[in-house]
Structure 1
Amino acid sequence: MITIITAVSMNNRKKEFQVCSAHGSHTFPFALLDVKPTPDNPIVELYVDKELASECFTYILKSGEMDSVTLDQVRWYNRDPQYMHDMLLYKLSVEAQKRVKESNLSKREIIRRLGTSPSQLYRILDTTYYGKTVDQILKLFHVLQCEVEVKVTPKTA
């Protein structure tokens, strides 16, 4: 699902941007920018970039340097739960595609064992379709004789 940025503002005191979208309001620190503002070279212009389908915001420094930040970068930094879910589905789908190609089973046999339709299998394997569930992908891995391990680690600073 494509989400657009609805508003962006900056807080020079906190050295961060405030980004608003349908997923809520998130911050993004200046420290993560590729082109960083300084006291001598501050941000003079900031806007939601319509030329980039409103999926990015662009800032321009006093020196004329400019850069853009995507909403995905902001959501990744904030560990947005929906974004992390979508990335998990994406990674699992990529791995499932690889395992289906390596499998000795035909797609017809995989479909039969899953008890589903061909179009449903193709949706499960589609990296851009987020209507699937982790459960569906896990069932596919089971049919392909693959084990899936979940690893939980403490959050690092």
Structure 2
Amino acid sequence: MTNDKLAEDRALRSQQNQEYADSLAKDLAKKEEKEKIRLEAERKVLRKQTIQLYREKIQADQPPPTSGPPYHHLLIRYPSGARLQLRLSTTTDTVTQLFDAILRHPACPDFFTVRSILPSGEIRGIYPPWYSKILGEEFGTEDFLTPQKTSLQETCPDHSCLFINMIHH
């Protein structure tokens, strides 16, 4: 009976050790998941801070209105319904200045895409590399990693109506 009791105790001990190991593995997995969530939240805050700092910088560096023809006339519509009319020089103003003007407006969301009516579709190449990277990190995709264009002519036609679409998770 002692050998049976010893074997029973060993089996019980082995079962308890296995249950402890399983429980420990689950606890470690939960801890890792919490840490992953915490790090992602920190990265999200950092991305939003980067956008906010850039907004503050372009508010301070707002260029004077462009003088001299030819002009590129654009109407920007934001998700809130707010509108912005832009008149940019086709010869001297760049896509970066268009992006800055869009982002500078208080109605502009942090994460957005730009669409045009005619031709209908998303306008690619308007985002500077730093913003493309932030969008890619925020939404886990490389769809936004297109090289930034420089000319307004190649980005959107004159008298365009551009829609700013908020991106949701």
TM bin (shorter chain): under 0.3
Task: Point out the structure with max Rg over C-alpha.
Answer: 2
- Bigger proportion of residues as helix: 2
- Bigger proportion of residues as strand: 1
Q: Give me the TM-score of the superposition, normalised by structure 1.
A: 0.26
Structure scoring higher RCO (CA < 8 A, sep ≥ 6) equals 2
